[in-house]
Structure 1
Amino acid sequence: MPRTGRFGGFDFDPEVFSEFMSENPTWNDAIIASGVLAQDNTIMDLIGEKGNVATIPFYTPIDEQDSQALNNDGETDNTPAEITGKKQTCMLIQRMKAWKAKDFTKELTGADPMTHVANSVAGFYKQVRTRDLMTTVDAVLSLSGMENHITDLSLTGEGTVGDVNKIDDTTLIFAQQKALGDSADKMGLLVLNSYIYAKYKAMGLVDYNKYTIANAVEREVNLPTIGGFIPLVTDRFTVDTTGTNPVYKTYMLGTGSVLTCDKTNYENPYYTDYDPETSAGIEKLYTKQGYVLHPNGFSINANKIAKESPTNEELGAKANWSLAFNQKNIRMGVIKSNG
């Protein structure tokens, strides 16, 4: 049974701790405000109590270019066109982590490492989900058919980096247009390296706008914007230093480009234990989370996933993904540059 009582300076109850974790934002306010994540709890209904894969059907768009209107001339038959559909497949991602600390450490030094753990779990899983998301985005953007969603200015081999390999004040505008054409305004979030963000600031392209964000309590916040995008600045996942010249990756993500939901039927998602014998006492916390982070418009091939949850490496393998939507309806893109 889960251990109740005091844990790391807290009154521990598994249900209360689970609620506390859910109240801590899984993503920071910039991503919430951008609308990139589309909460879709029906996915868990499709997955079921014991499953880990869901097939999401969708209608193909009724497009006048594909099926033009007929001429009503009194002679032409108005033959009905059949409504068609396709499907995309998503998979539950499951992660876990445990921590421990010796009583002796606290008794000897006065430190309280498990209090630190209890205060850090929400942030830790935010980082885990961010890694899973960005790994997935990299993979699906590399698929055949997604070439227009990549603006590559970078010089990766030998040579001198010039202005043509760097962003300027028009790069973002034309990268949007290349990716989505007349739907370019459907992008919302810009995930970029701090160096690239500094360049945009130096070019005078960072504005500050006021937004009202509804979480538990509505509040007004000032968020920077770049060309209508909300920037999320992170030095993780946004630079590749494996080549001769560093390549900075600036991701454009649109509203609803990622479908998400949480697994809610774990028996003991947060569990404490105490070992009074080893090392004169060890306090432990076991955690696990399950969630869907599915790039809308793609399918994961669950048959290529070795076990019951995809690893980060499997999420990042483009061979495990396929394009389901028309590429113009994929609200994602990336700019690669040397600065």
Structure 2
Amino acid sequence: MTTRIVDVIVPEVFNPYLIQRTSELSALVQSGIIVPDSQLDVLASTGGTIVNMPYWNDLTGESEVLDDTDPLTVNHITTAKDMARLHTRGKAWGANDLAKALSGDDPMRAIGDLVAAWWNRDRQKMLFSTLNGVFASSSIAGNVHDISGETDGGGIINASSTVDAQGKLGDAADELTAFSMHSAVYNSLRKEQLIDYDVNPITGVKIATYLGKNIVIDDGHPNAGGVYTTYLFGPGAIGFGNGAAPVPTETARDALQGDDVLVNRQHFILHPRGIKWTEENVAKVSPTNLELADAQNWNRVYENKKIRIVQFKHKIS
């Protein structure tokens, strides 16, 4: 008897498995760059497309000399507001796409792994579009280290230039804990013997590190005319929250075509902390990747050193 999607996909079981498995398979999550946040889960499920995230401004000014006659001046603690966008995305797959998974011993798990891996790839594309838009905004210029125009052998990524990139955060540079880079950059650093390897004591998996920090490798990084873009991240630089699509998963059967269909919908927040979404240029219900890459839709609200992202533009040797 032929196995069908409707026979193996139980939405109540599939949905939580997919959420968990997507996090497990995400290199960005495992490296600490993207941090699932229960508070963002709540905000993503409260309705509306814009999520307001108030925060306390840091205290400023100097201490005052105590005096018997002049009282201390009361300084008010002020607040500001970061804003994130709720993304509403979906994808449908036919039985032909999932035929191999349906033939396995545990087809629901196999399909769940395929769908989770697909969502991870799609979200990484969204993240790169987001970063393109964020760093196209002049408000974030203080977090950019661009040496790509240097000549006479300069402009190359190496230990020295990378330390300079970290220095964009000043005394907060130590909060940068991971790199995200193109495979060509990774291979160039390997040739220079700058890549080390640690072994996860629990899983036994070998982890590549550069200057003591974890590396995420993805060829979706910008690469134009020999200029590469590498990102330095601090933990939780990107916040993630799962929302509540009204019908996250459903199956259908087209009897006339003989096709089974699996539909998956996701509502979520994927937000660079401290960069406010302004909703200046969005045509439909949810922004496209092109709109995420539009500088008009982003504006910095944290001070530069509190934004745990540095864009490093360079060449390779």
TM-score band, normalised by shorter chain: 0.7 to 0.9
1:48: Cα distance to partner?
A: 4.5
Structure 1 segment 271-286 matched on structure 2, within 5 A: 271-278=250-257, 281-286=258-263
Residue matched to 1:215: none
Change (3 A) 1:282 1:47: closer
Unmatched 5+ stretches in structure 1: 213-217
The match for 1:171 is 161
CA contact (8 A) 1:260 1:292 kept: yes
Classify 1:301/1:203 alpha carbon distance in 2 versus 1 (closer, same or farther; 3 Å).
Answer: same
Contact 1:100 1:114 in 2 (8 A): no
Structure 2 contact 31–216 (Cα < 8 Å) conserved:
no
Unaligned ranges ≥5, structure 2: none
Taking a change above 3 Å as real, the CA distance of residues 95 and 27 of structure 1, as seen in their structure-2 partners, is farther
Picking from 220, 228, 236, the partner of 2:220 is 236
| Structure 1 residue matching 2:263: 3-state secondary structure | strand
TM-score by length of 1: 0.82
Per-residue Cα deviation, 1:159-207 (whole angstroms, up to 9, x for no partner): xx75213222311111100x20111011122111112111212222212
1:266-295 Cα shifts (integer Å, max 9, x gaps): 2321211111113xx111111111110111
2:8 aligned with 1:11: yes
Q: Deviations over 1:89-126 (max 9, x none)?
A: 11111111112246xx99xxxx6476699252111110
How far apart are the structure 1 equivalents of 2:154 and 2:68? 59
Structure 1 residues 338 and 10, CA gap change in structure 2 (3 angstroms)? farther
Evaluate the alpha carbon distance shift between residue 49 and residue 136 of structure 1 in structure 2; reply closer, same or farther with a 3 A threshold: same
- Which residue in the other structure is 1:21 paired with? 18
Residue of 114, 120, 126 corresponding to 1:126: 120
CA shift at 1:256, angstroms?
1.6
Question: Which AA in structure 2 matches 1:257?
Answer: A
| Residue in 2 that maps onto 1:224 | 208
Query: Would the aligned equivalents of 2:44 and 2:242 in 1 still touch at CA under 8 Å?
Result: no
Counterpart position of 2:92: 98
CA contact (8 A) 1:192 1:233 kept: yes
Aligned with 1:189 (options 169, 172, 178): 178
Q: CA deviation at 1:40?
A: 2.3
Runs of 4+ in 1 over 6 A off after TM superposition: none
> How many angstroms apart in 2 are the aligned matches of 1:303 and 1:167?
35
Call closer, same or farther: CA 1:72–1:222 in 2, change over 3 Å.
farther
Match of 2:231 in 1: 251
The alignment yields a C-alpha RMSD, in angstroms, of 2.7
Q: Corresponding residue for 1:291? A: 268
Conserved 8 A contact 1:169-1:203: no
Instruction: Report the equivalent of 1:148.
Output: 142
Q: Which amino acid aligns with 1:261?
A: G
What is the aligned partner in structure 1 of residue 284 from structure 2? Answer: 307
1:185 aligns to what SS in structure 2? Answer: helix
Using the alignment, how far apart are the partners of 1:143 and 1:230 within structure 2? 27
List per-residue Cα deviations over 1:281-316 (Å, max 9, x = no partner): 111111111110111001111353222211111111
| 1:199 corresponding residue in structure 2 | 188
Residue of structure 2 in register with 1:58 after alignment? 55
Aligned letter for 2:238?
V
Structure 2 contact 133–292 (Cα < 8 Å) conserved: yes
Report Cα offsets for 1:225-270 as digits up to 9, x if no partner.
Answer: 1113211111122423xxxx2211111111121111111x323212
The number of equivalent residue pairs is 309
Do 2:128 and 2:220's aligned partners in 1 also have CA atoms closer than 8 Å?
no
- Report the secondary structure of 2:23's partner residue: coil
Q: Say whether 1:321 aligns with 2:315.
A: no
Whether the aligned pair in 2 keeps the contact of 1:101 and 1:113 (CA below 8 Å) is no
Quickly say closer, same or farther: Cα 1:230–1:10, change in 2 above 3 A.
farther
TM value normalised by structure 2 = 0.88
**In the alignment, is the contact (CA less than 8 A) between 1:6 and 1:12 conserved in 2?**
no
In the alignment, the residues of structure 2 paired with residue 79 and residue 331 of structure 1 have an alpha-carbon distance, to the nearest angstrom, of 34
For residues 53 and 204 of structure 2, the distance between their equivalents in structure 1, rounded to whole angstroms, comes to 36
Confirm or deny that 1:267 pairs with 2:251.
no
